[in-house]
């Protein structure tokens, strides 16, 4: 993947702040970095470039603006078409019934997340502000999470009649008890709680976030790349042996059951009453214990 491939990105910035370190920035601050297909696939292009550049040993992911990501952009306005940009084996994106929704979520959500999780280089993600629902899919695939003190994490989509974001890492990231609390209530948690649960590595002042992520990347970048690849693969394989992939696949199947049920009951993929529930949840303070 050449430098030219990342020169014309509109929703992502690709930077190399120091030797051996690539920095990829979500750049839709006017939409609170809500993910549309263009942003997801431009992010994938940037990650491919960093992964295939033998001079890069660490990849930092960050976001411009107040919030890391407010989740899925549901507007669909002027967005890219999956049958033109997809990188996986799924299709049927224009098929009738649940088939098109299933194909789209397998390709653009689960498929990309699993692809990024298995990049054979260390990844560091720097998070500020709100991370809501689909925004978690831009955090969980990466290796080390640094959060600013104002960061909050939330997945309120049970309100829409489905089980959670399409990359269902909740029990692995929060633990079983907290995952149930957060999914059942839809409430957000603070960065401090996320760190206590093991989802976040470090919490720092907001004005220190970029520097802290770069400092961690700098420490990692002095290690030999072969050793880093072996260490990452060893940890990932341990998670796989514990059943991570099988659990993620089972949750994806249940996600499609939820969408199908909503189509039968409401005539659309989500429960329309969910939007008001989510608005009400936005008025509640995040869980801080």
Give the pair of three-digit tokens for residue 148: 């600013």
pLDDT tens digits in sequence order for the chain, 289 residues long: 667 678 899 999 999 999 999 999 999 999 999 999 999 999 999 999 999 999 999 999 999 999 999 999 988 777 999 999 999 999 999 999 999 999 999 999 999 999 999 999 999 999 999 999 999 999 999 999 999 999 999 999 999 999 999 999 999 999 999 999 999 999 999 999 999 999 999 999 999 999 999 999 999 999 999 999 999 999 999 999 999 999 999 999 999 999 999 999 999 999 999 999 999 999 999 999 9
State residue 222 phi and psi, 5-degree precision: -80, -15
**Alpha-carbon span 13 to 27, nearest angstrom:** 7
**59 φψ region: left (φ > 0), alpha (ψ -120 to 50), beta (else):** beta
Q: What is the predicted pLDDT for the residue at 161?
A: 97
Residues 6+ apart with CB under 8 A from 237: none
Query: In CATH, which of 3.40.50.720, 3.20.20.10, 3.90.226.10, 3.30.420.40 is domain 3-282?
Result: 3.90.226.10
**How many Å apart are CA 275 and CA 278, to the nearest integer?**
5
Distance CA 216, CA 195 (A): 16
Q: What is the 3-state secondary structure (H, E, C) of the chain?
A: CCHHHHCCCCCEEEEEEECCEEEEEECCHHHCCCECHHHHHHHHHHHHHHHHCCCCCEEEEEECCCCCECCECCCCCCCCCHHHHCCCCCCCCCCCCHHHHHHHHHHHHHHHHHHHHCCCCCEEEEECCEEEHHHHHHCCCCCEEEEECCCEEECCHHHHCCCCCCCCCHHHHHCHHHHHHHHHHCCCEEHHHHHHHCCCCEEECHHHHHHHHHHHHHHHHCCCHHHHHHHHHHHHHHHHHCCHHHHHHHHHHHHHHHHHHHHHHHCCCCCCCHHHHHHHHHCCCCECC
Q: At what angle do helices 225-241 and 244-266 cross, to 10 degrees?
A: 60
Residue ranges of the domains in the chain?
3-282
> CB under 8 Å, gap of 24 or more: what pairs does 176-180 form?
none
pLDDT for res 71: 96
The CA-CA-CA angle for residues 155, 33, 201, to 5°, reads: 60
pLDDT of residue 5: 78
Task: Give me the pLDDT at residue 251, please.
Answer: 98
Please tell me the predicted confidence (pLDDT) of residue 190: 98
pLDDT attached to residue 4: 67
């Amino acid at each position: 993947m050449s430098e030219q491939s990342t020169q014309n990105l509109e929703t992502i910035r690709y930077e190399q702040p120091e030797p051996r370190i690539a920095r990829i920035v979500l750049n839709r601050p006017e939409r609170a970095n809500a993910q549309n297909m263009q942003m997801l696939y431009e992010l994938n292009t940037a990650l491919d470039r960093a992964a295939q550049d033998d001079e890069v040993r660490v990849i930092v992911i960050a976001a411009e603006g107040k919030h890391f990501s407010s989740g899925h952009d549901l507007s669909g306005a002027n967005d890219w078409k999956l049958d033109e940009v997809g990188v996986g084996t799924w299709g049927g994106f224009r098929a009738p019934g649940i088939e098109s929704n299933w194909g789209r979520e397998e390709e653009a959500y689960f498929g990309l997340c699993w692809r990024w999780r298995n990049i054979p280089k260390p990844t560091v993600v720097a998070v500020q502000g709100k991370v809501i629902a689909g925004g978690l899919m831009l955090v969980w695939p990466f290796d080390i999470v640094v959060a600013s003190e104002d960061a909050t994490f939330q997945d309120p989509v049970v309100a829409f009649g489905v089980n959670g974001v399409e990359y269902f890492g909740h029990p692995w990231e929060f633990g079983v008890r907290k995952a149930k609390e957060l999914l059942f209530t839809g409430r957000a948690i603070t960065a401090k709680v996320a760190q206590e649960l093991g989802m976040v590595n470090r919490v720092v002042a907001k004005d220190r976030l970029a520097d802290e992520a770069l400092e961690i990347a700098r420490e990692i970048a002095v290690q030999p790349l072969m050793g880093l690849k072996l260490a990452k693969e060893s940890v990932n394989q341990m998670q796989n042996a514990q059943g991570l992939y099988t659990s993620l696949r089972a949750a994806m199947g249940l996600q499609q059951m939820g969408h199908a049920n909503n189509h039968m009951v409401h005539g659309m993929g989500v429960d329309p009453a969910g939007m008001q529930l989510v608005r009400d949840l936005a008025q509640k303070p995040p869980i801080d214990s």
